[in-house]
Amino acid sequence: MRNIRLSVLFGVIGGILTFLFEGWSVAVVGILMGISLGLAISGQLKRKEPAKLALDVLPSALVSCGILLILSLLQNYVITGVIGHSPAPLEVMIPANLIGVLGGALFLLITVALHGLSEGQERIGRLVLLGLVVIAFPFVDNFTQLGWTSLIIFSLIYVLLGMGLNIVVGYAGLLDLGYAAFFAIGAYTTGILSSQQDNITLNFWLVIWIAAAVAAVAGILLGAPTLRLRGDYLAIVTLGFGEIIPVIFLNLTNVTIKEPLTCWIIPGVERLFGATSKLSCNVIANNLNLTNGDLGINPIGRPALPFIGTFTSNNTVPWFFLIILIILLAIFGINRLRDSRLGRAWMAIREDELAASQMGIDPVRTKLLAFSMGATFSGFGGAFYGAYIAGVFPGAFQFSTSIIILCAVILGGIGNIYGVIVGGLVIETADRLFLPALKDFFTNLMNHSVLPALASQKTLHDIVAQNANPILYRYLLFGLVLVIMMAVRPEGLIPNAQRRMELHEAEEAPNVAASTSVKS
Amino acid sequence: MLELKEVHTYYGNIHALKGISLRVEKGEIVTLIGSNGAGKSTTLRTIQGINRPRSGTVLLEGTALETLPPHEIARRGVAQSPEGRLIFPRMTVLENLEMGAYTRKDKTGIKDDLERVFTLFPRLKERIGQKGGTLSGGEQQMLAMARALMARPRILLLDEPSMGLSPILVELIFDTIVTINKEGTTILLVEQNALMALSIANRGYVIQTGEIILTDTAPNLKNNEMVRKSYLGIE
Ligand SMILES: Nc1ncnc2c1ncn2[C@@H]1O[C@H](COP(=O)(O)OP(=O)(O)OP(=O)(O)O)[C@@H](O)[C@H]1O
Ligand SMILES: [Mg+2]
């Protein structure tokens, strides 16, 4: 029953997406829907033979793909009329729907059937499946001209940021409300070191490491004053840090750097002995505009590779695979960290600092390393971001950015790296891809159907015309989603097993009993 | 092995320990008894570095502990099964025990000790995958003690290990303390249950409002008029 509910939900979400993106989108949406529904369902099924499992979810496949097909047809033949678009021609509609519906069903069955294998085999199967999707995605996207890749890349940057923040908040339990500061540090370091702004133009492949290192050091600097603080107080200090850093970058427009040896140390020693200096002070930089204030740094150098050449804005494929690669390395690194002694020290500190110190864990070192490791990943993220948009602008690192990253972590499932990945993808994709498309949809709907009908009532017409823009309600919608999520599924989309147990102890208890009895 | 000399500890301007001096020799069980609020837990917290003495010194085999942070003191071989237990509630029993061995690197030794605490506390073995926070009070008490043992401490500080336990469990805990001691761990035992404590200890100290008012061998204390009246409840 629960599976059917999920199927309806996924089918409807998929269908609504076709309303917004039209044309070929149903093919891509269908397959993504099939896989994600499969992942969601198989978590609740007991392992049995793959073929039997596939048979069991046939109704789910029928329901979800049926709904998708109906909505997609509705979109093409009814909705287009209402919003003043012309329906896609049959030579698009037929293959797109066939791929979406049949492909979606097929992938759903495959994903669920994988659950019939042993745990290790299932994991490998899922990796292969997801790997195929990820590899195919930008090419399919190019072919279907949906133009999603360039926006998904932003989501992936947020995924990386979320994974870093998850170390601080999820593993070590330190609430950080100013995480965007490290993002800013990564991006501005990249900007300063690889633009014409100050005549230093280093290679991106070098800069990205420098940016991460600078962010790591900044993590320790932020950590230091917060060590004695707990909970709420810590959050306030990180909030302050998050506000200070962007302001500092905003104001680094007139920087003079003097070399300490010739300017202070030698003259100082000389004065001590009453000598007068013939040395002149070496000024390294005079009145240097490092960050260009409000206008930001622009353009920033971009990565280049043999065969591919310099990455450009027109071809998003290399960018996409670069960020995927960074994320894969980050997953690997973070998983290793989590299972290391340091990782266990983080968990202990999160649980009870006093008890942890009695186990011989140094709380100061442990917390500083959490801030520092967390910051490292946003250093990478910032460097990639700066290079990708070829500029760094102060507006991108405000408080709201910190909050959105934090929400991605909480929404996805705090403490669980895969949850955080899903959270980052969902939130940023909704923001960058879904909302703008929704806005276009509404604009078209208004202009074509609603406003003409209201022409006689001037005030109403104007009110509707001005307010029918979902982007205006960005934060309202965002807030609503959070409130609903926290009420319905406080443990996040893909929770860490521990937290789910705590939040749903009573409901899950019988399940746990059942699954252990199956094993034994 | 452990020695406190004229230790004064304050909470703000509350003078909780007014010049405590005591010694624990290697291999001994020493008990510290006293009524509520006498300063027993504060004494242990001071040894652990959680509270700092304003004056006086705490020596572990000659090295001063009072300037070291708690984690350094723990690394020098002082482990505590604290009052209020302080186990990690969201970690499993096994994870809690592994945390106890955090500073150790001898994998085989850790494994052996795990077996050892499971032999001492078979109940914990049954609950190996359960979250610490969902254990019963008595089980948490066992876990706290087992976790302290996992550090293979030189000296084990026990703060009211029998608190809130049923008589059978109290018996078990005290038997275990004796066993641990026989295996070579020095023990400083704080107890409300003075009768039990004195029957397993070698020596004892009586603390009253922050001062040691009496010290003697355990059998002598057991027969002491004042101790019998005030702490054993025997007229
Ligand atoms: N954090 C604190 N702040 C202020 N006063 C404290 C604090 N902790 C303990 N005290 C006071 O210090 C004195 C000694 O407390 P302590 O906890 O050492 O007593 P105890 O002998 O362990 O008592 P019990 O047998 O009830 O556990 C008490 O008067 C107590 O009120
Ligand atoms: Mg006490």
Q: Which residue lies with its CA nearest to atom 2 of ligand 1?
A: B11
For residue B217, give the 3-state DSSP assignment.
strand
**Range with the lowest mean pLDDT among A174-188, A421-435, A440-454, B146-160?**
A440-454
Per the CB < 8 Å rule, is A498 touching B90?
Answer: yes
- Each residue of B80-108: pLDDT tens digit? 888 777 899 989 999 999 999 999 888 89
- Cα–Cα distance for residue pair A204/A216, rounded to 1 Å: 18
Residues of A (460-499) whose Cβ lies below 8 Å from B: 498
Percentage of chain A beyond pLDDT 70 is 95
- Cα–Cα distance for residue pair A231/A239, rounded to 1 Å: 12
User: Of the candidates B69, B88, B103, which has its C-beta nearest A355's C-beta?
Assistant: B88
- What is the model's pLDDT at position A272? 82
Q: Residues, chain B, total?
A: 235
Q: Tell me the CA distances in angstroms from B223 to A273, B190, B213, B215, B229, one per residue in order.
A: 79, 19, 16, 13, 10
Per the CB < 8 Å rule, is B48 touching A341?
Answer: no
Strand ranges inside chain B, DSSP E: 2-11, 14-24, 29-33, 53-60, 63-64, 78-81, 155-159, 186-191, 203-208, 211-217
**pLDDT at residue B53 greater than cutoff 60:** yes
Q: Is A347 on the interface with B (CB under 8 A)?
A: yes
What are the structure tokens assigned to A218, written together?
């900044």
Residue A205 one-letter amino acid: W
- Each residue of A167-179: pLDDT tens digit? 999 999 998 999 9
- Each residue of A363-397: pLDDT tens digit? 989 999 999 999 999 999 999 999 999 989 988 89
What number is the average pLDDT over the span A441-457? 85
Question: A285 forms bridges with which residues in the sheet?
Answer: A257
Q: How does B110-143 read in b/e, with b if 16+ C-beta sit within 10 Å?
A: beebbebbbebbebbeebeeebbebbeebbbbbb
Q: Tell me the CA distances in angstroms from A185 to A222, A327, A403, A408, B213, one per residue in order.
A: 12, 19, 17, 20, 61
The side-by-side arrangement of strands in the sheet containing B78-81 is B78-81, B155-159, B186-191, B29-33, B203-208, B211-217
Q: Evaluate whether B20 touches B215 at the Cβ level (below 8 Å).
A: no
Task: Please report residues of A whose CB lies closer than 8 A to that of B159.
Answer: none
**Higher pLDDT residue, A368 or A493?**
A368
Query: Is residue B162 classed exposed, middle or buried when 0-12, 13-18 and 19+ CB atoms within 10 A define those classes?
Result: buried
Cα of B40 from ligand 2 centre, angstroms: 6
Q: Tell me the CA distances in angstroms from A463 to A63, A455, A458, A460, A516, one per residue in order.
A: 40, 12, 9, 5, 60
Task: Please report residues of B whose CB lies closer than 8 A to that of A352.
Answer: 86, 88-89
Q: Is A504 on the interface with B (CB under 8 A)?
A: no
What number is the average pLDDT over the span A325-331? 95
- Each residue of A70-115: pLDDT tens digit? 999 999 888 888 888 888 888 888 999 999 999 999 999 999 999 8
- Look-up: residue for tokens 């001071």? B46
B45 lines ligand 1 (CB under 6 A): no
B11 lines ligand 1 (CB under 6 A): yes
What are the structure tokens assigned to B113, written together?
């000790």
Q: Which residue lies with its CA nearest to atom 12 of ligand 1?
A: B16
φ/ψ of residue A300, rounded to 5? -115, 145
Task: Please report residues of B whose CB lies closer than 8 A to that of A360.
Answer: 71, 74-75, 102-103, 151
What are the structure tokens assigned to B28, written together?
């001994």
Q: Is A509 on the interface with B (CB under 8 A)?
A: no
Highest averaged pLDDT of the listed ranges A51-55, A116-120, A196-200, A208-212: A208-212
Pick the CATH number of B1-74+188-235 from 1.10.357.10, 3.40.720.10, 2.20.130.10, 3.40.50.300: 3.40.50.300
Q: Which residues contact A341 (CB under 8 A, 6 or more apart)?
A: B102
Per the CB < 8 Å rule, is B69 touching A362?
Answer: yes
Q: Is A94 on the interface with B (CB under 8 A)?
A: no
**Higher pLDDT residue, A304 or B190?**
B190
**Atom from ligand 1 closest to the CA of residue B43:** 18
Q: Tell me the CA distances in angstroms from B49 to B20, B67, B128, B203, one per residue in order.
A: 15, 8, 31, 24
- Cα–Cα distance for residue pair A158/B231, rounded to 1 Å: 63
- Cα–Cα distance for residue pair A81/A105, rounded to 1 Å: 29
What value of ipTM does the predicted structure carry?
0.88
Nearest CA in chain A to B84: A355
What are the structure tokens assigned to A65, written together?
């793909």
Greatest Cα-to-Cα distance within chain A, rounded to the nearest angstrom: 94
Q: Is the dihedral of CA B220, B221, B223, B224 positive or negative?
A: positive
Domain residue extents for chain B: 1-74+188-235
Q: CA of B88 to nearest chain A CA: how many angstroms apart? A: 6
- CA B57 to chain CA centroid, Å, is 19
Q: CA of B51 to nearest chain A CA: how many angstroms apart? A: 12
Q: Which residue lies with its CA nearest to atom 3 of ligand 1?
A: B11
With vertex at residue A232, the alpha carbon angle to CA A229 and CA A233, rounded to the nearest 5 degrees, is: 40
Per the CB < 8 Å rule, is B88 touching A363?
Answer: no
Q: What is the CA radius of gyration of chain B?
A: 17
- What is the model's pLDDT at position A500? 64
| Pick from B186, B137, B169, B172: nearest CA to B27 | B186
What single string gives the DSSP state of each residue in A133-176? HHHHHHHHHHHHT---HHHHHHHHHHHHHHHHHHIIIIIS----
Q: CA of B162 to nearest chain A CA: how many angstroms apart? A: 20
Q: Which residue lies with its CA nearest to atom 24 of ligand 1?
A: B36
Nearest CA in chain B to A342: B102
- Look-up: residue for tokens 């996805």? A412
- Cα–Cα distance for residue pair B158/B143, rounded to 1 Å: 13
**Mutation site for A-interface testing, chosen from B47, B75, B78, B90 by largest number of A Cβ within 10 Å:** B90
Q: Which residues contact B138 (CB under 8 A, 6 or more apart)?
A: B164, B165, B166, B169
Cα of B122 from ligand 2 centre, angstroms: 27
- Cα–Cα distance for residue pair B83/B144, rounded to 1 Å: 9
- Stated pTM of the model: 0.86
Which of B41, B50, B51 gets mutated to test ligand 1 (max ligand atoms within 8 A of its CB)? B41
- What is the model's pLDDT at position A519? 36
